Amino acid sequence: MNKKENSQKVQSVYHELSLQTYHREEHNISRKQISENALKVLYRLNGAGYDAYLVGGGVRDLLLGEQPKDFDIATNATPEQIKKLFRNCRLIGRRFRLAHIMFGRDIIEVATFRGHHQEQEKNVSQQSKEGMLLRDNVYGSIDEDAERRDFSINAMYYNIADYSIHDYAGGIEDLEDRLIRLIGEPEVRYREDPVRMLRAIRFAAKLDFDIEEDTAAPIEDLAPLLRDIPSARLYEESLKLLQSGYGLETYHLLREYNLFQQLFPIIAPHFTEEYSSRTEQALDLVLDATDERIEEGKRVNPAFMFAAMLWYPMMEYANRLISKGMSEYDAVMEASNSILDEQVKSTAIPRRHTATIREIWQLQLRLPRRSGKRAYRLMELNKFRAGLDFLEMRGEIEGGEVAALAKWWSTFQLAGRNMRQAMVNDLGGSSARPSSRRKRAPKKPKSAE
């Protein structure tokens, strides 16, 4: 498809929407459900003569009876006009300028209505030859903004002026039918921004919706377009996909549509039809555990998740190096560097996390060495708990000596002093735990008179 044909094809997706307005008595959204800070922004914009709407996921979640994580706002005020209204405003973004209104840690994101990027405006819009939007600072009307949104359930606007909902793409009907439907022609919209394929999966898993047939059809073939997305952006998307409380279901959907393979190409060769490889077992275990921790309100560490996902591909590489005569330690160090260096090309895992991944992996080599004072010293390490959790996960998968080692450590860390010493002695370790008190220097003999 040449650039001219693509431009004409993209333009054709922007003439299919029809507005349906639901008045206050026809929907369930109340201002009491909207955050105080979001209301402040909505009312100030409206009071200054601008249109002000709660938009996107906030409206969708409120209609579903859920509490939104974020309250995003759309307006006809430009970013510069928004900044003049709010002293606590910061403008961000190069691809599309956004206003962040800061209320301490609470950030209300305000976007100006977007227009059609085919309209010629000076230095505000840019597309690649494949149809991907590179810059998108084209402002327009609310109708155009709705046409530019990705899914019907995200193209609903709550108007603070009269508390009505403007539904431009049958979003309320799709909510009732539990459907994820892309606005416009799917192939064109995915080419504009391939990350929309990931968003379709994320919403389907999060909301337990089906992906509408035409919306789903091109995804598998277009999945390789994700390779053109900056790896830093894909890292952020991977966290949204896998660490939002429904990661296991999301992973299975991503894999079904050939998307997970683009995010983690190192893992893809370990996939089997039976989902039975050790890598696949590790994925199921770590994502299920992550979902459980999130449900319980516990913190999750991306480094642990990535360490589990990449461990068996790394060890396969390390074993090849060992077979060529390299020591186990050197082989694991070499394989760790190679695997992580390759993975960050697809998803740019930050250095602070790759450092933790290496520590967790190195502990797997150290935990078998428990004799003498080593067991006590290992327990004092900062990443010991993560290393043991990782060992226990491996024990579930591998059984045998690994499971026995994990059980030993689980017992050891909870045991009293005497029992710990007995456990170490059974390994042939030293007969006494290292004393934490400083030894006294021997007294000097009195000099003879």
Which residue shows structure tokens 């962040």? 100
Catalytic residue status for 70 = yes
Contact 386, 301 (CB under 8 A): yes
SS3 103: strand
Task: Round to the nearest angstrom and report the end-to-end CA distance of the chain.
Answer: 107
d(CA 227, CA 133): 15
DSSP code, position 107:
E
Cα separation, 17 vs 142, in Å, equals 12
At 77, is the secondary structure helix, strand, or coil? coil
For residue 208, indicate whether it is catalytic: no
Determine the residue type at 265.
P
Q: Tell me the sheet residues that pair with 125.
A: 136
Alpha helices in 118-165 (DSSP H): 142-148
Choice among 72, 167, 193, 291 that is catalytic: 72
Q: Which of 70, 210, 284, 389 is catalytic?
A: 70
Q: How far apart are CA 338 and CA 332, in angstroms?
A: 10
Report how far apart, in Å, the C-alpha atoms of 39 and of each of 32, 53, 98, 107, 160 are.
Answer: 10, 10, 18, 13, 8
Residue 280 Cα to chain centre, angstroms: 19
Amino acid symbol at 358 = R
Kindly list the distances between the CA atom of residue 54 and the CA atoms of 34, 95, 162, in Å, as whole numbers in the listed order. 9, 22, 12
Closest CA to 397 of 289, 269, 323: 289
Active site includes 72? yes
Which segments of 181-270 does DSSP mark as H helices, in order?
A: 186-192, 195-207, 213-216, 219-222, 231-242, 247-256, 260-263
- Number of H helices and E strands in the chain, helices first, is 21, 12
Catalytic residue among 61, 136, 145, 150: 150
As annotated, the active-site residues are 70, 72, 150
